[in-house]
Amino acid sequence: MKTLKFLPLVNICVLIAAIIFMTIKLNDNPKKYAYVDNISLFNKFNMSKDLHAMGLPQLNAQKKKVDSLYQLAQQQNDPKLIKELQQRVYIQNNHLQKMDTELKQEVNRKAWERLNGYLEEFGKQQNVDLIFGIQGTGNVMYADKAFDLTQEAIEFANSKYEGNK
């Protein structure tokens, strides 16, 4: 008789547990994953190209300066003057290398900063829960091409960069 008193309470608990389980299961949408090739994305992103092109005049001017000093040193006969010019070539070449490194770092920083925002928007637009970035040497060793959204991401990012919605 005592067990019959608890039966409605047990039934209610089972019913509540079943409702909670069904609610969780029905809302458990399958996750969508994709990947993009980071190198291809970066190299084909118009902003990367534009930023790099903007820095080229300074790099080319410095290269000409180094080349001119080198040529001048090659034409000299005075060992003291040759040594002085070689030192200047060395200093100017180091400056060129530093300029090149700084340009690459700045282009990388600015382009990836922009790309990350675009990729977040792209992922939401495509209803993708997670986008992996691959480089061919990373953690993702294989992925079916069906998950590759690289070209779509490039087109989206370039469209946004060019001011299109």
pLDDT in tens, the chain (165 residues): 555 565 566 667 666 776 776 666 666 667 788 889 888 999 999 999 999 999 999 999 999 999 999 999 899 888 899 899 999 999 999 999 999 999 999 999 999 999 999 999 999 999 888 888 887 666 676 778 888 899 999 999 999 999 876
* Report field, pTM of the whole predicted structure over 0.75: no
What range does the domain containing 140 cover?
2-161
Residue type, 106: E
How far is residue 20 from each of residues 6, 28, 31, measured CA to CA in Å? 21, 12, 21
Specify the residue for token string 């190209």.
49
The b/e string for 96-130 (b: 16+ C-beta within 10 A; e otherwise) is beebeeebeeebeeebbebbeebbeebbeeeebee
**Residue 89, SS3?**
helix
Looking at the structure of the chain, the number of domains it has is: 1
